[in-house]
Chain A
Amino acid sequence: MKRTIVLGAALSAVFSLPLAAQTLNVVTAGDTNMVDYINDYLGPLFEEQNPGVTVRALGTGPGDGGSQAMYEKLTAQKDNDVWDVDVGVVHQRMAGQMVSEGLLQSYRDRTATDELVNAANAENALGVDVSGYVMPMFQSQIAIAYNPALVDNPPQSYSDLVEWAEANPGQFGYNGITGGMAGVGFVFGWMYAFSDMAETLINGPFDEATPASWSPALEGLKAFNQSATITPGNAGTLDALNRGEIAMGPVWMDMFYTWVADGRLNPELQLLIPTPGMPGQPMYYVVPDKAAQAELAVKFIELATSPEVQAEGIVRRFNWLPGIDANAVKEQLTADEWAVLFTDVTPEVLAERGMSMPQAEYFSAILEAYERQVSN
């Protein structure tokens, strides 16, 4: 008697399996907080709205290395009919490469939130046309974090920073170019400030002869490095700030706020963006070309880019800058909640000094020039 019931239950479980077996694989580059965001907030919300669906989140590692890992995973299964990634969250540079290699599908016009996307970097990723293939999850910005207890009068421009670093040897720290994008972004900012060609670096066109003209800027950086501390990685800079080993250093604003919210970072630390500016970049939602659950994936991204989710998840929970039209998100929040985003850096400063990364060829050229002339 009992056995038949168990058997019946097991059988019905098996037969109901096809309905329940829809698994949406969301693979995200970036820190653990990206995985947490899917696991704790977006995943459960989506499962609630779509009974029978399981959202499975997986992190590929922080920084561009995480995006590179996802790219490897997709190219490795290029010849298969169905791929095991449904929704990807990637960095800007890799999104461009994936689009030009045909690894992604164009999906934006299939979402209802299409017209809420108004950022320029949703159309163009470091010189590659990605229009239709990506939707920004959030916008991120590199800024200089400093400890007010150690710095009374923080420098407001790159030139002032050079003087300050000379006067306070070892007190400015950044992670070079091998340890993560915060350091890379600081170097890009340096090039924007001292190469006299910020506009060209960002928009192109690329000219192979240009890198030769960077010598003065790079020599300056080499001299600057003498009085700077090199830290191990994005997290290493925050660490060193935390332990009081350095007084200033470039960090990702979103990472900074997450650490503070977690109690992992001294909340007294503050942020600033020196002139002429520092680069930022969005994280993109993408759908791989042969995703097993493409329809579901689009639905998931639609939810993720809705004003309600952007307000609750991106702004309220993480203090990140929204990926879609800011005005649409602002309506969902109180003035105070919105203002938290701009505690240290005002919207005006952000608009003026938040710059784009260089276009892809200059991106690599600057890094390689740095390796040849500064770190060698």
Chain B
Amino acid sequence: MKTTFVETAMSGARHLAAQVLPAIMIGLCAFVVFGPLVNLFMWAFAETWFFPARYPTEYGFDFWKRVFRPRAGAWTSLFASVWIALATVGLSMALAVPAGYALARLTLPARTLIMLIFLLPQAFPSLPIFVNIARMFYGLGLNGTYIGVVLVHSLPGLVYAVWIATAAFAAVDRTMEEAARNLGAGPMRTFQDITLPQAFPGLIAASIFVFLDSIDEFTGTFFVGTPDISTLPILMFNASMGGNYQIAAITALILLVPSIGFMLVIERFLKADVLSRIGR
């Protein structure tokens, strides 16, 4: 009897631990992830918040009205941001799909070096680069055009696009391609019917990162796009750097909408076998 009781207690404790420990861990994670986001959310609705009050003393929608009054151009900028991000995804993928295929499948000289070249635009602080690009684009008449902005946006995202596309093509099962070729399909047909569909989830994953990179790009848009083209980060940058927390927080929340929407749509395309090959 006694032993059974102890055993029951033990297993109960173990069972409890098995449930409680993950709960504590999840709680901690939730705090770390959402704490700063809650902070952002509070700022978006706080009308007065200063010492010695530890939390906002007044909430309201005044700043929302300011952000969304027609002249401020929040809507136009939002649409411009989304449209530019989508076009950037298109352009980057048009460059990255052939490049990724070549890097994954074909013989290339100095393959690793080529992979690294795509990494470098991310590594150098972008300000001097964009100043020079602006100089070139003014000469070409590309300043203030969507094409110009999309071109500069596709640059930093290209490393994600190419690296992930390469991984996607490397993960495609070759035996199926060979079977198709044996059945008489041409190389283009094989690519279109066999390779591309299999690599598709990976290519979608790549476009997520390109999209996210484009949607919060500031410096390039400023030098190449403005004043004709304005995006949400352009609106937010001033507010943020100038310490106007409410305006910046609201703009940030708006900026989250397309990002999260895009992610939700595309979530199911993220496949483990592709993710495991990125960068190789």
Name A residues whose Cβ lies closer than 8 Å to a Cβ of B.
25, 27, 30-33, 35-36, 39-40, 43-44, 56, 58-63, 65, 69, 72-73, 75-77, 79-80, 84-85, 233-236, 238-239, 241-245, 259, 262-266
Contact = CB atoms under 8 A, between A and B. Distances in A.
Contacts of A63: 241
B243 A72 contact: no
Contacts of A75: 135
Contacts of A62: 238, 241-242
Given A76-B134, A242-B50, A245-B51, 6 more contacts: A44-B71, A69-B222, A234-B243, A235-B241, A244-B52, A262-B244
B51 A39 contact: no
Interface string B44-83: 0001111110000010000000100101100000000000
A77 B138 contact: yes
A40 B67 CA distance: 12
Contacts of A77: 134, 138, 143
A238 B241 contact: no
Contacts of A69: 222
A174 B222 CA distance: 29
A235 B223 contact: no
A266 B50 contact: yes
B227 A31 contact: no
B58 A263 contact: yes
A65 B71 CA distance: 25
Contacts of B139: 79-80
B207 interface: no
A263 B48 contact: yes
Contacts, number: 98
Contacts of A30: 242
Contacts of B52: 244
Contacts of B58: 263
Given A32-B238, A244-B51, A56 B227 contact: yes
Interface in B224-279: 226-228, 230, 234, 237-239, 241-247
Given A79-B138, A244-B51, A265-B50, A35 B238 contact: yes
Interface size class of B (residues with CB under 8 A): 35 or more
13 contacts: A25-B227, A30-B242, A32-B242, A32-B244, A35-B238, A56-B227, A76-B138, A84-B228, A235-B241, A235-B242, A239-B243, A242-B50, A265-B50
Given A60-B222, A263-B58, A27 B238 contact: no
Given A25-B227, A264-B245, A31 B135 contact: no
Contacts of A244: 51-52
A236 B243 contact: yes
Contacts of A265: 50
A39 B72 contact: yes
Contacts of A60: 222
Interface in B115-137: 131, 134-135
B157 interface: no
Contacts of A238: 243
Nearest to B248: A32
Interface in B71-113: 71-72
Nearest to A236: B243
A297 B52 CA distance: 46
A245 B50 CA distance: 11
Given A80-B138, A84-B227, A266-B51, A233 B71 contact: no
Contact of B131 (A39, A61, A72): A72
A44 to B, nearest CB: 7
Nearest to A259: B243
**Residue of A32, A80, A245 most packed against chain B (CB within 10 A):** A32
